[in-house]
């Protein structure tokens, strides 16, 4: 079965994207990435120490990975745009994940500013992956603004609460042509699996892996769950029914 | 509205009466809530809550790791000058203290910057005493121009400014402010700040808010623990932090918990904060404000700092000197206070790794 994820015209061979924050040490990151099988790896530009051999996160990301710098710390569209440009100028490539957060309590994204930044950056030739609160109209505007995928949150970032926005995400999957990548909030492999079963194109996981007792094993577990969920989606899961359906129906005599 | 209104609401609150009535059940209920209100916070600062530190520590650790990860952010202070016109009884820079006064020239700032950045640090906190004559805002802005070449984040801990001055420094490259109220108890404040502009309680109290209004990226507040009873003072600190975070969502609010240290001068703190109680404050704060950064400086001794990694602390200073020119000059001036954890940046980095955490040198990039 041919089943490739395509983002910005590029074929991606893994539907699990991973983050690099919150780990007890950068040195564990190569093993985590290997365990996860992820091809796309996101890094906050604010954390990259280009001048340090030991502390430069980029030195821990395998060469065959695609770097997805993110604009963590941006409080509005203008700051996100500046961070994105800095990332490109520093040699981090064309791909950018936009995070615009002006709420330090819940860390919820600002959709309006995200749309503005997406519009500006896609015109500048960036392949833009915006992180957003799942809202259909905002997602449509992101499509119009030139996004390459849409990344709705499953739950507030870092909460490990799972797919709390399930109904909204289902709507996005049904209505938006671009890949829907569920980002943030997924705390367990079963929740990543659930997102994939729904038809999400991919998921991005960071906290649940980084803060696990064994991050490498947890990365592997997420990889398996994502594969299982995708396969289930492609196989066509049976409809959920309210009443049991006997194989010898009571009204069979009517046929 | 200002935080002062909130302070007034609790100023004459019967803290003792409240604490006396707290039951074990009250403490457990507050610990187990997902979102704690200010009464829960106060409950966790009670005598009764001291029996539940282990349970609080477990929850605090989980929350800290969940929100910040297994990381400790590192920074170091850089003292630009120690000229000061205030008479604060507890401070080494007190105008009446006969100490060598010094201000760094730009070439000296650069030398200090080089040495500090060679240790791997990327975040710097610059400090001065209060002297608009010796260290005016434009002097600080000039220092920032030099420091920008070496550091990706520059935070100030200087005398309180007007909003437009905070804006000027933000334009110059500052992204954070640290300012301690020292003591929230207004009566004690007046007794400790005998003369100088710092006598103005309200102007200092509202400084963090002015910085938020100027759109400062991060604002860090605190009380100098030991000037009044810690249960009251840490309550007012948390309340202040929460007030600011609710009102200024786009500023990251942080809290420091400095315990008073020996310094030049005769002052002896009236209230002693035991280690156990410092821990109680950290845990209560973390449960009340799960996303707030908590800083512990080299005022605290190495062993205690090491044990607190993971319990709620998110930020630590390293390789500190409280002297002007402390990293490079032969002829140093007296420090503001004595530091306790004298280890090098490398030593602190290694101990953080040993604890299973990552020392993070860079968490912001000037944009």
> Model confidence over A146-194: pLDDT tens digits?
999 999 999 888 788 999 999 999 999 999 999 999 998 899 999 999 9
Residue B328 pLDDT grade (very low, low, confident, very high; cuts 50, 70, 90): confident
d(CA B351, CA B302): 10
Provide the pLDDT for residue B123.
Answer: 95
Provide the pLDDT for residue B292.
Answer: 95
Q: What is the distance in angstroms between the Cα of B10 and the nearest Cα belonging to chain A?
A: 24
Q: Please compute the mean of the pLDDT values over residues A130-153 and round it to a whole number.
A: 97
Terminal C-alpha separation, chain A? 37
Contact (CB, 8 A) for B2 and B206: yes
Measured from the Cβ of residue B163, the count of other Cβ atoms closer than 10 Å reads: 17
Q: Which candidate from B71, B120, B250 shows the least CB-CB separation from A75?
A: B250
Q: What is the distance in angstroms between the Cα of A44 and the nearest Cα belonging to chain B?
A: 9
∠ Cα B295 B301 B307 (to 5°): 70
Specify whether A164 is catalytic. Answer: no
For A110, the token pair is 């600002």
For B128, the token pair is 């001065």
Has residue A1 got a pLDDT over 60?
no
Contact (CB, 8 A) for A121 and A128: yes
CB contact under 8 A, B358 and A86: no
Half-sphere exposure of B176 (CA within 13 A, CB side): 25
- How would you class B4 by CB atoms within 10 Å of its CB: exposed for 0-12, middle for 13-18, buried for 19 or more? middle
Contact status of A47 with chain B (Cβ, < 8 Å): yes
d(CA B156, CA A53): 28
CB contact under 8 A, A45 and B365: yes
Has residue A248 got a pLDDT over 90?
no
> With pLDDT > 70 as the criterion, what percentage of chain B qualifies?
98
d(CA A118, CA B83): 49
pLDDT digits (tens, 9 = 90+) for B175-225: 999 999 999 999 999 999 999 999 999 999 999 999 999 999 999 999 999
d(CA B176, CA B136): 18
Alpha-carbon distance values, A48 to A100, A128, B207 (Å)? 18, 20, 32
Contact status of A58 with chain B (Cβ, < 8 Å): no
> With pLDDT > 70 as the criterion, what percentage of chain A qualifies?
95
- Sequence-separated (6 or more) residues with CB below 8 Å from residue A116: A77, A145
Q: What is the distance in angstroms between the Cα of B251 and the nearest Cα belonging to chain A?
A: 7
Contact status of A48 with chain B (Cβ, < 8 Å): yes
Interface mutation vs chain B, best among A18, A19, A20, A24, most B CBs within 10 Å? A24
Contact status of A213 with chain B (Cβ, < 8 Å): no
Greatest extent of chain A over all pairs of C-alpha atoms, in Å: 79
Has residue A250 got a pLDDT over 90?
no
- CA-based nearest residue to B178, from B217, B151, B140: B217
Measured from the Cβ of residue B316, the count of other Cβ atoms closer than 10 Å reads: 24
d(CA A83, CA A70): 8
For B166, the token pair is 């905070």
Has residue A200 got a pLDDT over 90?
yes
Contact status of A65 with chain B (Cβ, < 8 Å): no
Q: Please compute the mean of the pLDDT values over residues B112-134 and round it to a whole number.
A: 93
CB contact under 8 A, B250 and A104: yes
Contact status of A171 with chain B (Cβ, < 8 Å): no
Alpha-carbon distance values, B323 to B22, B117, B128, B316 (Å)? 45, 17, 10, 18
Quickly list DSSP for A194-245: HHHHHT-SEEEE-HHHHTSSSHHHHHHHHHHHHHHHHHHHHH-PPPP-SS--
CB contact under 8 A, A25 and B353: yes
CB contact under 8 A, A210 and B353: no
Adjacent-strand bridge partners of B153: B123
Q: Which residues of B touch A208 (CB under 8 A)?
A: none
Contact status of B361 with chain A (Cβ, < 8 Å): yes
Interface mutation vs chain A, best among B244, B358, B361, B366, most A CBs within 10 Å? B358
For B184, the token pair is 């929230």
For B94, the token pair is 């007190």
Domains and CATH numbers, chain A: 5-235 (3.20.20.70)
CB proximity under 8 Å: B 245-264 to A: 245-246, 249-253
Residue A239 pLDDT grade (very low, low, confident, very high; cuts 50, 70, 90): low
Adjacent-strand bridge partners of B316: B74, B296
Q: Which candidate from A21, A86, A105 shows the least CB-CB separation from B365?
A: A86
Which range among A41-50, A76-85, A106-115, B27-36 shows the weakest confidence by mean pLDDT?
Answer: A41-50
Which range among A209-223, A235-249, B302-316 shows the weakest confidence by mean pLDDT?
Answer: A235-249
CB contact under 8 A, A47 and B363: yes
Residue A2 pLDDT grade (very low, low, confident, very high; cuts 50, 70, 90): low
Provide the pLDDT for residue B262.
Answer: 66
Q: Which of A4, A97, A105, A123 is catalytic?
A: A97
Strand B153-157 vs strand B358-360: parallel, antiparallel, or unpaired?
unpaired
CB contact under 8 A, A46 and B363: yes
Greatest extent of chain B over all pairs of C-alpha atoms, in Å: 60
Residue B336 pLDDT grade (very low, low, confident, very high; cuts 50, 70, 90): confident
Has residue A240 got a pLDDT over 80?
no
Provide the pLDDT for residue A186.
Answer: 92
d(CA B53, CA B72): 22
Strand B176-182 vs strand A127-132: parallel, antiparallel, or unpaired?
unpaired
- How would you class B143 by CB atoms within 10 Å of its CB: exposed for 0-12, middle for 13-18, buried for 19 or more? buried
- CA-based nearest residue to A38, from A6, A57, A12, A56: A12
Q: What is the distance in angstroms between the Cα of B108 and the nearest Cα belonging to chain A?
A: 23
Contact (CB, 8 A) for B245 and A106: no
The chain-wide mean pLDDT, for chain B, equals: 92
Q: Which residues of A touch B358 (CB under 8 A)?
A: 23-26
Alpha-carbon distance values, B287 to B42, B54, B290, B305 (Å)? 11, 13, 6, 20
Half-sphere exposure of B340 (CA within 13 A, CB side): 16
Provide the pLDDT for residue B178.
Answer: 97
Provide the pLDDT for residue B332.
Answer: 63
Contact (CB, 8 A) for B257 and B305: no
Sign of the Cα pseudo-torsion (A96, A97, A101, A104, in order): negative
Residue A241 pLDDT grade (very low, low, confident, very high; cuts 50, 70, 90): low
Strand B87-88 vs strand B193-195: parallel, antiparallel, or unpaired?
antiparallel
Q: Which candidate from B66, B70, B120 shows the least CB-CB separation from A23?
A: B70
Task: Look at phi and psi of residue A91 and say left if phi exceeds 0, alpha if psi is from -120 to 50, else beta.
Answer: left
Has residue A124 got a pLDDT over 60?
yes
Q: Which residues of A touch B364 (CB under 8 A)?
A: 46, 73
Q: Which residues of A touch B356 (CB under 8 A)?
A: 24
For A160, the token pair is 């490990």
Q: Which residues of A touch B363 (CB under 8 A)?
A: 46-47
∠ Cα B235 B236 B237 (to 5°): 90
- Helix residue ranges, H only, chain B: 3-11, 15-21, 24-32, 38-44, 53-68, 106-118, 137-147, 163-172, 186-192, 201-205, 207-213, 230-247, 275-288, 302-308, 345-354
- CA-based nearest residue to A45, from A101, A102, A114, A93: A93
């Amino acid at each position: 079965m041919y089943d490739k994820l395509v983002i910005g015209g590029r074929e991606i061979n893994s539907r699990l994207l991973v983050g690099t924050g919150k780990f007890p040490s950068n040195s564990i990151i190569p093993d985590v990435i290997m365990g996860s099988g992820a091809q796309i790896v996101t890094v906050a530009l604010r954390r990259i120490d280009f001048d340090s051999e030991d502390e430069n996160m980029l030195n821990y990301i395998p060469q065959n990975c695609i770097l997805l710098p993110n604009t963590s710390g941006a409080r509005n569209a203008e700051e996100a745009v500046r961070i994105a440009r800095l990332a490109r100028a520093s040699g981090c490539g064309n791909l950018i994940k936009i995070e615009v957060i002006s709420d330090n309590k819940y860390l919820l994204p600002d959709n309006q500013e995200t749309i503005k930044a997406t519009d500006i950056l896609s015109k500048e030739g960036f392949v833009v992956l915006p992180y957003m609160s799942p809202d259909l109209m905002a997602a449509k505007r992101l499509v119009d603004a030139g996004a390459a995928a849409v990344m709705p949150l499953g739950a507030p970032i870092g909460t490990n609460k799972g797919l709390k926005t399930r109904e909204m995400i289902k709507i996005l999957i049904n209505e938006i042509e671009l890949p829907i990548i569920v980002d943030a909030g997924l705390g367990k492999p079963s929740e990543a699996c659930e997102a994939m079963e729904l038809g999400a194109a991919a998921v991005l996981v960071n906290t649940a892996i980084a803060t696990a007792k064994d991050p490498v094993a947890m990365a592997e577990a997420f990889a398996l769950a994502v594969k299982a969920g995708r396969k289930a989606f492609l196989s066509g899961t049976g409809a959920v029914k309210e009443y049991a359906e006997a194989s010898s129906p009571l009204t069979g005599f009517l046929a | 509205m200002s935080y002062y209104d909130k302070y007034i609401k609790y100023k004459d609150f019967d803290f003792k009466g409240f604490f006396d009535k707290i039951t074990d059940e009250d403490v457990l209920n507050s610990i187990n809530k997902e979102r704690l209100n200010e009464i829960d916070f106060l409950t966790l600062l009670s005598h009764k809550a001291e029996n539940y530190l282990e349970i609080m520590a477990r929850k605090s650790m989980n929350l800290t790791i969940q929100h910040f990860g297994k990381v400790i952010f590192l920074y170091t202070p850089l003292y630009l000058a120690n000229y000061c016109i205030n008479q604060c009884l507890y401070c080494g820079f007190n105008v009446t203290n006969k100490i060598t006064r010094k201000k760094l020239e730009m070439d000296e700032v650069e030398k200090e910057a080089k040495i500090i950045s060679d240790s791997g640090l990327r975040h710097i906190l610059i400090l001065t005493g209060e002297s608009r004559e010796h260290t005016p805002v434009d002097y600080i802005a000039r220092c920032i121009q030099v420091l920008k070449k070496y550091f990706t984040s520059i935070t100030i801990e200087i005398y309180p400014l007007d909003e437009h001055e905070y804006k000027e420094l933000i334009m110059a490259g500052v992204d954070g402010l640290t300012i301690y109220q020292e003591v929230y108890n207004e009566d004690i404040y007046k007794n400790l700040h005998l003369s100088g502009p710092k006598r103005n309680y309200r102007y200092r109290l509202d400084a963090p808010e002015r910085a938020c209004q100027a759109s400062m990226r991060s604002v860090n507040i605190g009380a100098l623990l030991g000037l009044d009873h810690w249960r009251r003072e840490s309550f007012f600190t948390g309340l202040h932090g929460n007030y600011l975070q609710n009102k200024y969502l786009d500023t990251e609010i942080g809290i420091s918990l400095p315990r008073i240290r020996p310094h030049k001068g005769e002052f002896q703190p009236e209230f002693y904060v035991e280690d156990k109680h410092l821990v109680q404050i950290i845990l209560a704060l973390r449960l009340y404000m799960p996303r707030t950064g908590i800083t512990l400086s080299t005022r605290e001794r190495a062993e205690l700092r090491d044990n607190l990694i993971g319990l709620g602390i998110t930020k630590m200073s390293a390789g500190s000197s409280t002297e002007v020119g402390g990293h490079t000059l032969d002829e140093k001036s007296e420090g503001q206070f004595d530091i306790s954890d004298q280890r090098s940046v490398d030593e602190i980095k290694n101990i953080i790794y040993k604890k299973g955490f990552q020392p993070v040198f860079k968490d912001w990039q000037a944009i």
